[in-house]
Structure 1
Amino acid sequence: MTENDTLAQVREAQTASLELAKLSEETRNEALRNVADAIEANYERILEANETDVVEAEELLEQGEYTQALVDRLKLSPSKLDSIVEMVRSVAGQDDPLGETLSARELDDGLELYKVSVPIGVIGTVFESRPDALVQIAALSLKSGNAVMLKGGSEAANSNRVLYEIIREATSDVPGGWAQLIEAREDVDRMLEMDEYIDLLMPRGSSAFVEYIQDNTSIPVLGHTEGVCHVYVDSAADLDMASDIAYDAKCQYPAVCNAVETLLVHEDVAADFLVDVAERYEDAGVELRGDARTREVIDVEEASEEDWSTEYGDLILSIRVVDSLSDAIDHITTYSSKHTESIVTEDHERAARFMRSLDSASVFHNASTRFADGYRYGLGAEVGISTGKTHARGPVGLEGLTTYKYHLEGDGHVVGDYAGEDAIPFTHREFEGEWRPGRLSDE
């Protein structure tokens, strides 16, 4: 694809975004329901395309070019497609994020200012090997009235292409061009230069990739980087609960960014806890790496300094024994990617201290890190998990894909009346009210 082709796609998306923003909630919801039905009707077609991708990926895995975690994320199955369909329908069932009056303020009698939620516009996305990411991003963009540029990884090219075609076929009543698929690597660099047309970039990948995007564009970037997540088992933990949480956080689905990568254990419970949980991990095929104190209790490989900051995305876990809650907090502050951390303890004051001391996007008490997910949070789905601190944070759902603008309703008001010696004072009074066109004329 040439630069002119990419520019044409982006311009088409920008035109579509202006129309999409005006569609009714019911029209957007109906389009989403059509997408869910279309995916459900095309399982065989999707799985056939995915099998082509998986076979090629497994060949590259044997050559050492791909990891098992990447191949696992790439694979689709009937049950995974069931989850995708359920996710799309869940997005359709969410409250409309558009047209919500966020605040209402009277500036003077008959002069009212409303802050109203609106779409961002055109979103550019670059995401990893999971084909379900394309559907999540497209569904959330449609519901929130945004046009979207979709760039998936080359390893999922066949899966992404089929899913995109199904989505476009199912949304024929939506302004054409609202979703655009780009496939060439060089198209990403072209997008980075199109600040006139693209309003937000959302890369999903490694820290190095996200940093590359941020360093090479003037477009705002909502970064989703790796998940170096932690579970800390406190001295006041229920050890049976801690074992279940630590096991789930690693083994329930190890290839995703909210799986735990480092387990921290207070020295007072290390001897009892580590023996039990290590047996469970061994049965699940987890490779354990530990510091010197861990290896005094259980027989595991030695953890390196690099292990503490590594996202394995696989059945590998590093373990460290710590002296105190403060040591656990210090370790997480040093090595965390600010994704998700969890403390297991029956001491609520210690839990509160842990949760207030860390600035990760999600911090849990007595729960698996695997709950850090847009669908599980009740957001319908997510376009990614933002580990930054501005605009949107944590799992980014519909609210994170909106911004706002101000609507001012007046009745012939002019600024001159509010200036000079005889200036009329502003009232600046907050009130409860929803904006609607010509609201003042109805009262």
Structure 2
Amino acid sequence: MSLTDAAPAEAARSAKAASHIMATLSADDRNDALLSMHNELAAARESILAANAKDLALAEREAAEGRLNPSLVSRLDLGRKGKWEDMLQGILDVRALPDPVGRVTLRTRLDDGLVLDRVTCPIGVLLVIFEARPEVLANIAALAVKSGNAALLKGGKESTQTMLAMATVLADALGKSSTVPAAAVQLVTRRDVVQELLALDRDIDLVVPRGSNELVRSIKAGTRIPVLGHADGLCSTFLDAGVVDAAQAASLLLDAKTGYPAACNSLETLLVHEAALSEPAFAAAASALLSAGVTLRCDETSKAALLGLSLTEATQTKIVDAVDDDFDTEFLSLDLAVKVVPSLDAAISHIIAHGSHHTDAILTPSEANAEKFMAAVDSAGVYWNASTRFADGMRYGFGTEVGISTNKIHSRGPVGLEGLTIYKYKLRGSGQAAGAYGEGKKQYKHETLSF
């Protein structure tokens, strides 16, 4: 890894050259580099967290003065709730995964001595642009090295000290490798070069934005390079009628909303079947959410039902009237929009109209309703009786993730190693010419072979 203040075009060209070398490295070479990255970061814990504390203090002042979104402050804190340990473990988890490069996924005998393979290969050069989230630096570096890709990393100014500290350590770690080129993973330190980088479609193969809606949307609108990402994490859960285990429903909704409100997989809209309003599950869930400090932004029907419960005066102040925009808002805070719907179909229609195709869930005892919901809702993740917070690369067993994709091509949901590879066709012949085949000539065999 290297810290580069080179011109964007130069950085991209060197990354492209490094990507060709990365594609030829053995799995052992790449795994050895990952182990070195993990060990060097672990040894530098105190100095990196000290740098992060400086970034965090400045960000808190910026947020207090209204110049920075408070959700970014939470994402910036590398010492929060085991984030440091998870980051390090993620590198080891990625290292332990099977090699994603060089896997044969199809083998066909076109003719005797003429065999076609479809083989997984790296994408090439990744450009990762991120706000806050300093752990992204280690995550992407690990995923890029394991998948044989090169990566250009451009972080936000709010995490400058942390990024520089981490990148210096990672540069030392990869510098000890005799096989991984220094230009394979680069932290771009020049400011105000994002637009220049986004114009380099000859050398950069995929852009991965990690940050606010505004960041992702501006990147998608400003480049010809394919973009893997999501603008909103507007996740919904539908509470169906007939849920018997009220405590379970309350626990799942509490986890989805309060586990980490600033995360893109946190719950933002609760849809309630009208028949469930009088059932224990709704009352238990609402009480648990309100007790946890969640403000419920309710439509008229759900508000009336809640005010009919035995709630304290303080809790009742957390029940407010919803406005239309609430059902299109990613709050990233202890706010939850609540809406009553007459049917499963109405819940599905609401999610299709207002959701962001990230992750949506249904709580129901009915397998038929659950399967219909999961088939009809067009999101990267659709869950039955589970918290939306499971939408995460580490929880899916991917080691870590490069990001969450709501795209309709290549990769959806949490994107790990598989999402950072594509494939190529390798044809091994013995002197055949294509013109020798056709009507009145030799015929193809097209035999499927095992591999």
Contact 1:386 1:392 in 2 (8 A): yes
Q: Which residue of 2 aligns with 1:357?
A: 376
Matched position secondary structure for 1:377: coil
Q: Which residue of 1 aligns with 2:310?
A: none
Q: Does 2:217 align with 1:211?
A: yes
Residue 127 (structure 2) pairs with residue 132 (structure 1): no
Q: What 5-or-longer segments of structure 1 have no aligned partner?
A: 434-443
Deviation, structure 1 residue 88: 0.5
CA contact (8 A) 1:3 1:187 kept: no
Q: Cα offset for 1:216? A: 2.1
Distance in 2 (CA, whole Å) between partners of 1:416 and 1:122 is 36
Cα distance, 1:37 vs. partner?
A: 1.1
Shift of 1:390: 0.6
The equivalences for 1:38-77 within 5 A come to 38-77=40-79
1:243-271 per-position Cα deviation (integer Å, ceiling 9, x unaligned)? 11101001111110000001111121223
Q: Distance in 2 between matches of 1:183 and 1:318?
A: 40
Counterpart residue identity of residue 135, structure 1: A
Q: Deviations over 1:380-403 (max 9, x none)?
A: 111111011111111111011011
Are the counterparts in 1 of residues 5 and 190 from structure 2 also a CA contact under 8 Å? no
Alignment of 1:10-409 (within 5 A): 10-77=12-79, 79-172=82-175, 173=177, 174-238=180-244, 239-271=246-278, 272-298=280-306, 299=316, 300-409=319-428
3-state SS in 1 of match to 2:272 = strand
Give the C-alpha shift of residue 4 in structure 1: 6.1
Residue ranges of structure 2 left out of the alignment (5+ in a row): 307-315
State the partner residue of 2:312. Answer: none
Report the CA distance shift for 1:71/1:251 in structure 2 as closer, same or farther (over 3 A).
Answer: same
- CA RMSD between the two structures: 1.7
Task: Determine the C-alpha separation between the residues in 2 that align with 1:254 and 1:432.
Answer: 48
TM superposition score normalised by structure 2: 0.92
1:46, distance to aligned residue in structure 2 (A): 0.9
Q: Is the 8 A contact 2:122 2:420 kept in 1?
A: yes
Aligned to 2:446: 428
Q: Secondary structure at the match of 1:35?
A: helix
Contact 1:340 1:362 in 2 (8 A): yes
Distance in structure 1 (CA, Å) of the matches to 2:351 and 2:200: 38
Count matched residues.
432
Query: Structure 1 stretch 76-85 or stretch 15-24: which is displaced more?
Result: 76-85
SS in 1 for 2:183: coil
Q: How many Å separate the matches in 2 of 1:4 and 1:383?
A: 24
| Segment of structure 1 superposing worse, 129-138 or 111-120 | 129-138
Is this contact kept in 1: 2:4–2:189, CA < 8 A? Answer: no
Query: Which is worse superposed, 408-417 or 245-254?
Result: 408-417
d(CA) in 2 for partners of 1:131, 1:3 = 19
Maintained 8 Å contact 1:274/1:297: no
Is the 1:3–1:190 contact (alpha carbons within 8 Å) kept by the matching residues of 2? no
- Partner of 2:431, secondary structure, is coil
Deviations 1:331-354 (CA, angstroms, capped at 9, x unpaired): 111110000001011100000111
SS at match of 1:395: strand
Deviation at 1:28, TM superposition (A): 0.6
User: Structure 2 CA distance, aligned partners of 1:85 and 1:4?
Assistant: 29
Q: CA deviation at 1:2?
A: 11
What is the rounded CA distance, in whole Å, between the counterparts of 2:203 and 2:299 in structure 1? 50
Identical amino acids, percent of aligned pairs: 41
Would the aligned equivalents of 1:258 and 1:340 in 2 still touch at CA under 8 Å?
yes
Q: Which deviations, in whole Å up to 9, do the C-alpha atoms of 1:397-417 show, x marking residues without a partner?
A: 101101111111111112232
Cα distance per residue 1:18-47 (max 9 Å; x no partner): 111111101111111111111111111111
